[in-house]
Amino acid sequence: MPARMAIRAAAVVLTGGVAAWMLAGCSVNVGALQHRTRSYQVSGQLRTLVVNAHVGGVRVTGGNAATISVTEHISYRGTVPATTHRAAAGTLTLASTCPQLETCSVGYVIRVPRPVTVRVNDRVGTIRLQSLSGPVTVHTSVGDIDLGSVSGPVEATGSTGTIHGQDVSSVRATLRMSAGTIEVTFSAAPAAITATVTAGSVTLRVPGSVPYAVDASASVGSTQIGVPRSAASPHTITARTTTGSITIEPAP
């Protein structure tokens, strides 16, 4: 089966599964969609931010402020979704839960000190991380992950969606997506990148000023390597796709 046809087939199967899952957890709600916004700041010696989101996007931006500021954008029909925030042992934990069989979402816009460690788990929604220097670990079941100007170690995983990155200077990055695409541009030569997609494409752009030890394979599809290569290089790139394409090229 040609790679493109196989990708389409896998996407149809996964999309159908996602649709069935979403329909199974929803019901028809009567009444207008309600909106609320809630903002607050949390101070103290906070070193880690943890976000456990049910349905809704999460945006985390680093800055020079010593406090963490949070804005919750809440939409619902029927019961107001529950949101909590708790600071303990240097960690701020945010969580939201939508009532079963009701329409709702909770989106977060968060500003943190740039070095804070960030961990986000979002069931349905897009995660955007910007201007962060601490370690980041993010997962979304259905949605995209967008990385901009991050420099700490990165672990980004998803089931269906895209991992996109610009101006990433992380020394180590682990990127995994079941069905979708990975497209990340690095502004500094990483020590180690692992990028894996089951059905979809991987595109990595890295500085071409150093050679890389590249291990790339596509079971069904194509592989194009345009960067200098050396098996002895301390800069390693491992890229895998079962069905799709892999492109590793110099960053513009």
**How far is the C-alpha of 93 from the C-alpha of 195, rounded, in Å?**
28
CB-side exposure of 69: number of CA atoms within 13 Å? 8
Mean pLDDT of 182-198: 98
Q: In this model, does residue 75 exceed pLDDT 80?
A: yes
Least trusted range by pLDDT, from 27-41, 67-81, 184-198, 230-244: 27-41
Domain 3-21+34-250 has what CATH class? mainly beta
Per DSSP, the three-state class of 12 is helix
Q: In this model, does residue 13 exceed pLDDT 80?
A: no
Q: What are the residues whose beta carbons fall under 8 Å from the beta carbon of 119, sequence distance 6 or more?
A: 48, 49, 50, 51, 136, 137, 138
Q: Provide the pLDDT for residue 16.
A: 41
Q: In this model, does residue 94 exceed pLDDT 60?
A: yes
Q: Provide the pLDDT for residue 2.
A: 43
- pTM here? 0.87
Q: Provide the pLDDT for residue 24.
A: 33
Show me where the domains of the chain are located.
3-21+34-250
Q: In this model, does residue 1 exceed pLDDT 60?
A: no
Q: Which residues of 150-160 are buried (b: 16+ CB within 10 A; e: fewer)?
A: bbbbbbbbbbb
Cβ count within 10 A of residue 100:
9
Q: Convert the pLDDT of each residue in 20-58 to its tens digit.
A: 333 333 344 457 999 999 999 999 999 999 999 999 999
Q: What one-letter code names the amino acid at 212?
A: Y
Mean pLDDT of 117-146: 97
Structure tokens at 51: 């976000």
Mean pLDDT of 128-132: 98
Binned at pLDDT 50, 70 and 90, residue 159 comes out as very high
